Amino acid sequence: MPPEQLARLRPRASQPVVLLDPPDPAALIAALATRLAGARRPRRLILIHRDPRAPTLSTLAAASPLRVETLDLATTGARALFARWPLHLGCDVAAGQHPHLLLVGRTTPAEALLRQALLGAHYGERRLRITLLDPDPAAAAAWFRATQPQGETIAELRCATPEAPALDADTPVSLALICDPSRAAAHAARLRQQLAVASGTSPALIAVATAPWPAGARADWDGQTQPFSLIADACTPETLFAGRADQLARTIHEHYRDSVAAQGRDPDGEPGGQPWARLAESFRGANRHQADHMLAKLAVVDCRAVPEERVAGFAFTAAEIERLARIEHRRWAADRRLDGWTHAPVRDNARKHHPQLVDYDALSEPMKDLDRFAVRGVPTLLARAGLGIQRLLIVALIEPASSETPPPPRRLVSDALGRLHARYPDRALVLATGLGSPLTRALAAQAIEHPATGLWLLHQRSLSAQLADCTDPATRTTLLDLVARAERRLPLGAGGLAGWIAKRAEIAWHPTPPETGARPLKRLWLAPGGRRLVWDFEY
């Protein structure tokens, strides 16, 4: 906005004003406050800043109608990106696979993305692996240590050049981020080939930029590379005006205020108990970090957040509470360490010393109970946000022996899905498949028309190899549509599919009668003649 327009700016009560890095924001706010003096209805001004440090603004008079909010573009973008592509997108954390984040480039918002990953990638005892690809690996390592204090206590760091990334198959890359917009296409093409050779995997490759990317067609998509823009994809009306990104964080904070009041204390009298509108950014950040990790916790125990009306009630088991309490302590410790805190026998807020920055096993039982209490409260917090929890029901779609095997009639598929949803009303149905045949692609496409059915893609080979097998554009487009809608993309490697299904699936959907004793023991299949489905368990 030109300076002369800023000089005449007068926000309306019904239309919030959003400005990206305006010159001299303090002077602008002072002028607006004077211009709006006497207005009866509040006026909202949102200042988006590229610099990680929020601009220094003077405090407005309590009676001023002007309401000023600041938004860190990089941090908001990082939260939005990992909400859309979580680190467990490309690994089965409930089965013991571990996340591996690969980052190419150091332009904005690379620093914020790394910090968000370090805050959120807590799924078990093993640390997140981070691989930085840079022409100067030593400089990349130094940059990481300078921007992420104590980051190597949270994650295992590896640095290499883009030409020789030193990838291996023991911990496949689960998500790759490219923060080098001018060379994103070249990086993505090279990474697709390197990942396919190293581990046969096809993780999502997210090309990140500040400005919007040019629009493209699905038919031109390679199945892996996807664009993400801080401005177009993170600064949406839902985020800016409705506060959707902070809905759960606000719920967590209101729950805390209620807890303080229930103890006979006034939350308004505590720095961390102020209403959200007056809450310091450091406390807002802590609530956001806790909210952002909710879905990671659910993934660890094969659960999913769903609309509350689908759920009658939910409680974690004792074993799940203990497992998640360990993870919650690691998450809390990472939050503290990234803020500069270190361990000391006596707490000292001024020096950022904390006695609880130790392993979970070294905590006293009362301290462990704090983490257990936080885990037990997850269903309540989600319920206050209009969400419930369901355990997953994993149904494996078994590939036919012949690619010529036709899919069953749509009416039989609809009937089977209806029976599964009716038999397991408290479970979230997930179809797990490699999408390697017309039959499994047709079944998956019809199944996910139901809003309560999810899709997991099981990779035995690279996606580029699967796309190469698509002999016509319609088949390719169908496969790409299904890949885009998959909630998880799990690398299994050659020969790993049968073992994964036997261990993880509760029901197997076979194209033909299965062998006796094949696992899982709950099975259904198409009877000879193709006119009915056979179930060998009570549905």
**Which pLDDT band holds residue 60 (cuts at 50, 70, 90)?**
confident
| Res. 217: pLDDT tops 90 | no
Instruction: Tell me the mean pLDDT in the region 19-43.
Output: 89
Question: Where do the structural domains in the chain lie, given as residue ranges?
Answer: 3-73, 77-234, 293-384, 390-535
Of residues 381, 299, 360, 350, the one with CA closest to residue 90: 299
* CATH class of the domain defined by 293-384: mainly alpha
| pLDDT single digits (tens) 307-360 | 999 888 899 999 999 999 999 999 999 999 999 999 999 999 899 999 999 999
Please indicate whether the domains covering 77-234 and 293-384 agree at the CATH topology level. Answer: no
| pLDDT single digits (tens) 201-213 | 899 999 999 998 8
| pLDDT single digits (tens) 489-515 | 999 877 789 899 999 999 999 988 888
At 429 the pLDDT is 96
HSE-up of residue 83 (Cα within 13 Å, Cβ side) = 17
What Cα–Cα distance (Å) separates residue 134 from each residue in 179, 207, 209, 378, 379?
A: 11, 16, 17, 39, 42
Of residues 143, 456, 502, 125, the one with CA closest to residue 302: 456
Helical (H) or strand (E) element with 198: helix 184-199
Residues 6+ apart with CB under 8 A from 421: 429, 450, 452
At 20 the pLDDT is 93
| Sheet containing 225-229, strands listed edge to edge, beginning at the edge strand earlier in sequence | 155-160, 128-133, 100-104, 175-178, 204-209, 225-229
| Res. 4: pLDDT tops 70 | no
What's the token pair of residue 315? 């409680």
Helix (H, G, I), strand (E, B) or coil at 67: strand
CATH 3.40.50.450 fits 390-535, yes or no: yes
At 180 the pLDDT is 96
| Res. 93: pLDDT tops 70 | yes
Of residues 100, 111, 105, 97, the one with CA closest to residue 175: 100
Amino acid identity, position 102:
L
Long-range pairs of 275-283 with CB within 8 A, sequence gap ≥ 24:
276/246, 276/250, 277/67, 279/253, 281/54, 282/339, 283/253
Please tell me the pTM assigned to this model: 0.93
For the chain, what is the radius of gyration of the CA atoms?
A: 25
- CA gap 99, 173 in Å, rounded: 7
| Res. 276: pLDDT tops 80 | yes
Q: What is the chain's mean pLDDT, rounded?
A: 91
What's the token pair of residue 375? 């885990």
| Res. 79: pLDDT tops 60 | yes
At 37 the pLDDT is 87
**Which pLDDT band holds residue 220 (cuts at 50, 70, 90)?**
low
**Which pLDDT band holds residue 115 (cuts at 50, 70, 90)?**
very high
Ordered DSSP codes for 519-531:
SSSEEEEEPTTSS
77-234 — its CATH code? 3.40.50
